[in-house]
Structure 1
Amino acid sequence: MAVMPDQHVRPDWAGPVARILIVDDSVVARAVIARMIDQGRGYEVAAAVSDVHMALAFLAQEKVDVILLDIELPGIDGLTALPDIIAAGGGAKVLVVSSACDEGAAVTVQALALGAVDTLVKPNNGSMIGGFATSLERKLQRLTQSGEPAPQPQRQAPSLAAGDEFDIVAIGASTGGIHALSHVLRALPPSFQVPILITQHLPESFMPYFAAQVAILAGRPCDVATDHMRIRPGRAILAPGDAHLRCTRLAEGGAALRLLRTPASSGCMPSVDPMLASAAEIFGARTLAIMLSGMGRDGAEGAAKVAAAGGCVIVQDQASSVIWGMPGAVARAGNASAILPPDEIGRVVAAQRRPA
Structure 2
Amino acid sequence: MSEIHPFRIDVPQSDLDDLHERLARTRWADDLPGTGWSYGLPTTYLRDLAEYWRSGFDWRAAEAARNAHPQFVTEIDGQRVHFTHVRSPEPDALPLVLVHGWPFTDFGETIGPLTDPRAHGGDPRDAFDLVIPTLPGFGFSGTTHEPGQAATERSAELIAQLMGRLGYTRYGAQGSDAGSFIAPQLGRVDTEHVAGVHLNAAITIPGWDDDGAGYSEEDQAKLAALQDWNANDTSAYASVHSTRPQSLAHAVTDSPAGLLGWVVDVVNTYKDPAAALPEDSIDRDALLTEISVLWFTGTIGSSMRLYKESQQWGADLPSSGVPTAVAVFPGDTTIRGIAEKQNNLVRWTEFDRGGHFAAMETPDLLIEDVREFFRPLR
* Higher fraction of helix: 2
Asked which structure has the greater CA Rg, the reply is 1
Q: Which has the higher contact order (CA 8 A, sep 6+)?
A: 2
* Higher fraction of strand: 1
Q: Could you state the TM-score of these two structures normalised by the residue count of structure 2?
A: 0.31
